[in-house]
Structures are given as structure tokens and as C-alpha cells.
Amino acid sequence: MEQGDLSKLPPHPDLEKTFQLDGYLRMYETEIKRRYGVFYEVVTKIEKLEGGLEQFSRAYETFGVHRQMDNSITVTEWAPGAAGIYLRGDFNDWHIEEKYAFQQGDFGRWHLKIPADTDGSCLIKHESKLKLGMKLHNGHVVDRICPWAQLVRRPKNVPIFEQIFWDPPQVIKYKFINHHPQLLGGLKIYESHVGIASWEGKVATYKQFTQNVIPRIVDLGYNAIQLMAVMEHAYYASFGYQVTSFFAASGRYGNPDELKELIDVAHGQGIVVLLDVIHSHASKNTVDGLNQFDGTNACYFHDGGRGNHDLWDSRLFNYMEWEVLRFLLSNVRWWVEEYMFDGFRFDGVTSMLYHTHGMGHGFSGHYDEYFSLNTDTESLTYLMLANHMLHSLYADFIITVAEEVSGMPMLCRPVLEGGGGFDYRLAMAIPDLWIKILKESSDENWNMASITHTLTNRRYGEKCIAYAESHDQALVGDKTIAFWLMDKEMYTHMSKLSGPSLIIDRGIALHKMIRLITLGLGGEAYLNFIGNEFGHPEWLDFPRYGNNESFHYARRQFNLVDDDMLKYRFLNNFDRAMIHLESKYNWLSHSQNYVSLKHESDKLVVFERADTLVFIFNFHPTKSYTDYKIGVQVAGVYKIVLDTDDEEFGGHKRLDHNVQFFTFPNPWCSRANHTYVYIPSRCAFVLAKIDQIAT
């Protein structure tokens, strides 16, 4: 298919490669073809009725409030259950007036045109406040916010949002300088929340993130930022997951132009920016959300039980309702076209894929669980449509990620092969593993086979993003890895001047090793949550009624890592070295790895990646090994290129980096050659072949 061409869609999926990757899928060929057939039918219908997906997904150009070239205002809304709609706001002193009443059109649409003012200017000024008056069939008029609003804010001490008409003059409107960057090497994501990106007890801003955090990300070597909680949400403590305005960049951090500047500055540094997009559900808010927008319980959502997510207390979209499809597809298109986002992490994909929303369902991995009546074909079809559209229109740069825990086969294969179309899925079992063993096992009982199995247990040909912990593990009620390891003495022994501490020493050592083995073995991409690179203390908790609206835990204490007298800097130094090492050797782009050793009693793991890198881990709490024989596939001379025990990383400097490791042509551990190494306790290091050492 040519880039940008959405019309040349074959009526049947090309399953030859699919079955080459996984022959077991042949048993489900009929179901795979059926799912693709539903997708094909919807695309064909859009082509026939709307002129194609390209035009269909540009609805933000007509729906909502728009100033025209002649300074008139046009408004289009979809509200099939309404008896009438009025526009009111600053421009008419908030009155309900017939001259600002919408005219009913076809298919549940309503239209309004407001001529320019008598002096030729626009009647509705930039940053004016607006609301829709939705007339119900009982005669009552209730306030609603336009679903297509680009900015919403709430007055101080008022819990209800109102639309801000964002229409800056061209002379001050932000203009992008940089293009979408071409991703070089493996994807390394710095997961971020703008509001907490300050050590101060306040909501940080887009400007502050641009000025203070992006330079840190550049220094650390990450090549992608994933922005959470950007789509507007009325309740700050929802972490952005109860979206009320899908087209509005959250106004609590600044204005839309300041978000554009953030993305543009990141692009200038070669960093791609992903948006955490929430299309799996929506807030139940009515006055400033989509719920009961037209006065009915349906409209954007399913009516009845299917339209409610009981666990999340939120509404569920009707993905096959024509105008809902238009709304959601236009939404992802909007964030690319207007803000130049480079891709999306789709939240709650597991919830979308199954009628049970994955609740009370422990997936065993049997394929019958994925190709059964429990799969929600309508939701899957929407995801296929979104991925097909995005990858066709923006093939040069777009990245899509699925937050998906069930392991649905083919989710990260191209749509034309019968897959879901995602580029990556989050390897959500990996952080669960680390938290479980930190909670339940002492070091000497860590199971090397279990660790390596979890890190390597992914579908061949479907890329995974590995991570030791994300925002999920930082939230109140859980602990970060650093806190699990060191919470007993983090407040007393993180100073370089404090006395020796076995707890801190162990914690710093394992924190580095856990991250390195996750990055080395766990996937084809890597993710870190903001602040966790330096072992951020404590949990994450947003201001809410239950904590007296405190900001104490809704911040990132960068002041700790900036203090040269604190040990947090050791962890930050290691994270930087680890990420830059991957950028040099690009092992994430080499999906093949080989675990040559997982020794339970010695607590050793050895594996190779990118052909000439050898990773060696000794998780034993007390035992070091001299002249330990390990297998190496590629013959040559090797040197240490990264060492967790380095003094710069808070280690004990037990390894000599001048030592060269020569291979011997005798097989060992199923490898063609072997060498001998000294491997201290609670230490990991990486060997690289000398003629392959990157400069």
C-alpha cells in the first residue's frame, strides 16, 4: 500500500506471514478472516458514504465552534436525543436567546451560524467563555460543553469546567520549527506527567517541563517522551484517566501553544513525543463531560449495562455508532495534525478487547481465550481502523502502543496481515514480576529461571516495551522499586556522609541490576517513569479529599538528584550510562537474544544480545566467583563497557576495566566458545567485543 493511500485495501488479509510466525493460528483462520471482514466492511462503507477515512477523520474542521474567513462563526454538533441547542457565553451575557439557537439537520446534527459583528469583527473573541444550552424534551435547558472544545478551564473555586474559545491571532499563534524526528535506534521512552514535573508542591506547567525536564531527558539519552494526562480531565487525581474533553489539551498546565512549544523543542532534540490517549472509556461527568450529552443515556455510549464500566465508574463508547467512530478517529488525527504528536499509547486496550473487560479473568495463554465470543469485535474493529488510518497517513513516523495484558495474538501485527496494527505492546508482566519477588522473596530465593522466562516470554514477531516499573507501580497503595528496596533507611542513609548501610547498599545494587536486565533482555523497547531513574522516594498521590488536598506526593523531587551529596545521583548516573550504551550498540533493534546460563544456586544469569554483547549478572547476596566459565558465541577479545559496581554508580569498584577477556574455541553452555570472568556478588556487567566497541 502506498503511503497515505487508504483506499487500496484488499478484501482479505494476507495470512501467509501470520501463519509462518505462528502455525497454531491456522486453527483460527476462519475467525481471523471474520474479524478482518468486519473491519473491511466498515472501511468500505466509510469510503462509499464519506469519501474515505482521510476525509472522515477530519471532522474537527467542521464540528465544534469555528471562526470563518469572514469572521462569522459556524457551529455543528451531533446530539440526536436533544430537543434543541443554544450557544451562550461572554458574547451575549450568558443568555438563552433564540437568535443563537441551532437549526436541526439530518442524522442528529445541529447547525448554527452567527454573522460577523456590525464592524466586521468576530462576535466571539479569542479566549471568550462558552457553553451549550442543551434543551431536553421536558423543556429544561441544561449546560453542556462542546465535545470538540480545544480548551476548557474552570473558574477558581468552581468545580465545573467551561469552554474557552481558543482562536489566537495568526501573529502570535505558535508556529512549529521542527519536523517529526526520525527515530534512530531502539525506542527508549521517558513516561511523564507534566503536572508533577517539579519538586515544588504545585501543578507544574508545559513551560516548566520544556525548560527543566526536557534537558534532563536529553542528558539521560531517552529518545521518546510519553505524555500522560494531557487530554482534559476534570478530576486531577484521576491521573488523566477520566477524560471529559477529548480534543482539549489540559489547561491546568498552560495553553495549547505552550504544549506545542514543548513538543517542538523535544523534536528539535530528536525526541519523539507520544500521547497517552484514552479511548477505552470516558468520565461520567455530565455538565462538563460527554455523559448524557444530548440528555439521553446513549449518544456517544452504549445504553444499559454495556455502556458502564463498573470498576472504573465510567462510560463505555459505542464503537460502531457512526458519529462515535467519526469523533474518535478524528480525535487521534487532531493530536497529530494540530500538535504534531508522533504517536499514541492506547490506554485500557485489554478492557476494550473483551466483553468482561479482562476483569476476573486470569488469562492462561490458550488461544481459545482470544478467539471466543468474549472478544468484543466492535472495539477491536475500532482499534484496527485507528491503526490502519494512522499508519497509512503517517507511515514515516507514527508509533502506536497497546496497554494490553492478556497477550492477544496478532495485536501487534499489521492490519493487512489480519492483526490489530499496533507497533508495540507493554510487557506488563515484567513489573508485576519485580514487585512480586521484592514483596515475597529474599535474595537467596530469587528464581533465575522465572526471571529470565518472564523477561523473554513474548510473542515472536510482535514487539514489546519492557519496563521495571511505570506510573502504575508509583501510585499510592503500591511502592516504587526503590522504596521496596530501601524505604526503611531512605530518609536517614541516602547522604554520602551517612554511615554504612547494608539496606541502602543492597538497594542501590539491585535497583541498577533490575533495570539493566530488564533493558537487556525484556523487549524491543524500554520505558521509565519520570523520576524513577534516580530511585524517586515515596509514592505518587494527587491532591484529593482523602489527603487534605496535599501536593506533597504529587511532585518529582529533582532537587534530590541535583544534590551531589546524596546517593540518588549514583542511580541517575547509572541510568544515563545504561541508556547511552543502548544507543551506541542498539541492541533493542536486535530482537534475538540467547540466555546461555541461568544457574539457580549460583544466582547467575548470562545472555548475549546484538551478536557481540555479553550480559553477566550475579544476584547472589554474598558469593563472588573467580574465573567463572561462561559461554560466548562470537570469538574474539572482549572488554567491560558497563559495570554496575563502578564507583560512579555507587558501587565498590571491584572490577578492573583494563582487563581483556579472550575467548577459547571450546563449546560451553551451548555456545561455540567460552571465556573466564570474575563476577562479584550483587553485580552485573556488559562485555563488548573490542573491534565492535562503539566510540
Strand partners, 679: 625
| DSSP 8-state class, residue 469 | -
**C-alpha distances in Å from residue 526, one per residue of 126, 406, 469, 588:** 42, 19, 11, 8
- Annotated catalytic residue: which of 77, 347, 376, 643? 347
Q: Are 357 and 87 in contact (CB under 8 A)?
A: no
What CA–CA distances, in Å, run from 190 to 48, 280, 567, 579? 42, 23, 21, 11
Cβ neighbours for 345, distance < 8 A, ≥ 6 positions apart: 226, 274, 275, 276, 277, 400, 401, 402, 403, 426
CB atoms within 10 A of CB 126: 14
Question: Active-site residue among 403, 423, 533, 538?
Answer: 403
DSSP 79-110: -TT-SEEEEEEGGGTT---GGGBPEE-STTEE
Q: How far is CA 94 from the centre of its chain?
A: 39
Residue 347 annotated as catalytic: yes
**Cα(2)–Cα(73) distance, integer angstroms:** 38
Q: What angle do CA 484, 489, 494 make, to 5 degrees?
A: 105
Give the number of other Cβ atoms within 10 Å of residue 654's Cβ: 15
Which long-range contacts does 441-449 make (Cβ < 8 Å, 24+ apart)?
443/506, 443/510, 443/603, 443/619, 443/620, 443/621, 444/603, 444/620, 444/621, 446/603, 446/619, 447/600, 448/598, 448/599, 448/600, 448/603, 448/604, 448/605, 448/619, 449/598, 449/600
3-state SS string for 35-51? HHHHHHHHHHHHHHHHC
Strands 64-67 and 103-104: unpaired
The number of angstroms, rounded, from the C-alpha of 318 to the middle of its chain's C-alpha atoms is: 23
DSSP-derived 3-state class of residue 369: helix
What CA–CA distance (Å, rounded) separates 129 from 92? 10
* Coil vs helix vs strand at 74: strand
Is 403 annotated as catalytic? yes
Residues in the chain: 695
Catalytic residues: 347, 403
